[in-house]
A and B are shown apart, each in its own frame.
Chain A
């Protein structure tokens, strides 16, 4: 029975990778189909040399950032969640906090079978909700514009990340403060001297954080919670 369920378990993993890869490839094709169709329909083609310069510039910025993102986030999100999150986007401000809190409430661990399932469900629902809200926004853009860009509520949206991560951070720091000391100090020290984009700083902090955690783990200072 145990063996049977293990086989069925890895069958699930295989199925998720199959679905994830197939839909991922379709998504990649769609991404290119969009500008291609528009260019053809209206016969607007930018000169190839200018186009190449733009594509090279953006790719040189994006490739290292994306490698770091995949390595940083996928172990936590699991397979199903990762395929979804890397198609629908908005990882740090939506998908990761959402999946992390759901796994915590459900009392399952990231990178476990149960964790993968909860993470996938949570990211799928989040994707559907965000998608629906954007559709409503596109349809009702005229009446919504004055409300959303009202100067009265502007500070609330400017501070959405501090508001989100204040709560998220407090929860996890209370739980495992030892893991926070080194990466938090590194962020504070670096940010005191230079303004670094989060996309660049996160992999640096992730690497430092792993190093510190490994050291504390060997010393027996941190345990799995």
Chain B
């Protein structure tokens, strides 16, 4: 029997990947165009729209690299094209590894790349990874309009509270990613503090010298600066 890795790295799956990724790009471009046109129509300055594009593009480069690293990590077991597809449409590295493992275990194989990881097990991993990923999007397709209408009604009733409610949800997320390194200590904590310190420094500079353009890159700079210093911290701790 053909080794499953020949299947997993076949040009056939690469071709499917190209179609899927093209679709994700098309969706982004359609919604980008619609939002851009509507933005101009309601009088948002073109410069503000372009600043958003620049700032998002610059910021997104570095957080994309860990996605590549996880692709490299999955490639020996799942091939290149299927993880590429999965990571391009909804997926994220921890989810893919967990679900691929569940796919293997439900076939009685100890885990990814374990003894007996055959083409059949690969197929099972693939199906499980695909089924598990649909739920967020499915809920959006079914209920997002309702949720957004509810938010609209809430806003009409008490707009100040709605703004605080959204901030509170956002702080819930921030707290998890700040609180965990605080408890962990060591390099993650030092990195968190560094990122915070650089950001505070930049915010001060932006306000004091009115360097507005820097606003668009402050988060990218503080993140990359703290990542760089984390290498230093790892070496001295």
- Are B31 and A42 within 8 A (Cβ)? no
- Do A57 and B102 touch across chains, with their CB atoms under 8 A apart? yes
- The reply to whether B92 and A93 contact each other, CB–CB distance below 8 Å, is yes
**Looking at A131, A170, A210, which has the most chain B CB atoms within 10 Å of its CB?**
A170
Contact indicator A61/B132 (Cβ below 8 Å): yes
Pairwise interchain contact B183-A191, C-beta atoms closer than 8 A: yes
A184 to B215 alpha-carbon distance, docked (Å): 26
Asked if B69 and A66 make an inter-chain contact with CB atoms under 8 angstroms apart, the answer reads no
| Chain A residues whose CB sits within 8 angstroms of the CB of B107 once the complex forms | 46, 50, 54
List residues 38-82 of chain B with CB under 8 A from any CB of chain A: 38-39, 41-42, 44, 48-49, 51-53, 55-57, 59-69, 71-72, 75, 80-82
A contact face: mostly helix, strand, loop, or mixed: helix
Contact call B219/A101, Cβ cutoff below 8 A: yes
* Assembly CA distance A62 to B134 (angstroms): 9
* Contact between chains at B106 and A70 (CB < 8 Å): no
Query: Is B7 an interface residue when CB atoms closer than 8 A count as contact?
Result: yes
What are the 8 closest A-B residue pairs judged by CB atoms, nearest first?
A166-B195, A187-B179, A167-B222, A170-B196, A206-B172, A58-B132, A54-B106, A163-B226
- Roughly how many angstroms separate A180 CA and B182 CA in the complex, as a whole number? 14
Contacts of A206 in B (CB 8 A): 168-169, 172-173
Report, as a range, how many residues of chain B touch the other chain: 35 or more
Chain B residues near A168 (CB-CB < 8 A): 174, 195, 199, 219
Given A130-B60, A157-B66, A166-B192, A38 and B7 contact (CB-CB distance below 8 Å): yes
Residues on B with C-beta less than 8 A from A12 are 34, 38
- A contact residues around B29 at 8 Å (CB): 124, 128
> In residues 101-133 of chain A, which contact B (Cβ within 8 Å)?
101-102, 105-106, 109-111, 113-114, 116-118, 120-131, 133
* CB <8 Å contact, A34 and B16: yes
| B223 near A23: Cβ-Cβ < 8 Å | no
A-B contact pairs, 26 of them (CB 8 A): A13-B148, A20-B140, A30-B20, A44-B122, A46-B123, A51-B124, A57-B128, A66-B139, A71-B147, A74-B140, A76-B169, A84-B31, A114-B42, A121-B32, A121-B52, A121-B53, A129-B57, A131-B21, A134-B71, A148-B68, A156-B228, A158-B230, A163-B192, A169-B192, A170-B196, A171-B199
- CB-CB < 8 A to B161: which residues of A? 214, 217
A63 x B135 contact (CB < 8 A)? yes
Given the complex, which residues of B lie within 8 Å of A127, measured CB to CB?
24-25, 28
- Given A90-B92, A206-B168, A209-B169, CB of A28 within 8 Å of CB of B194: no
Task: Give the nearest-CB partner of A37 in chain B.
Answer: B16
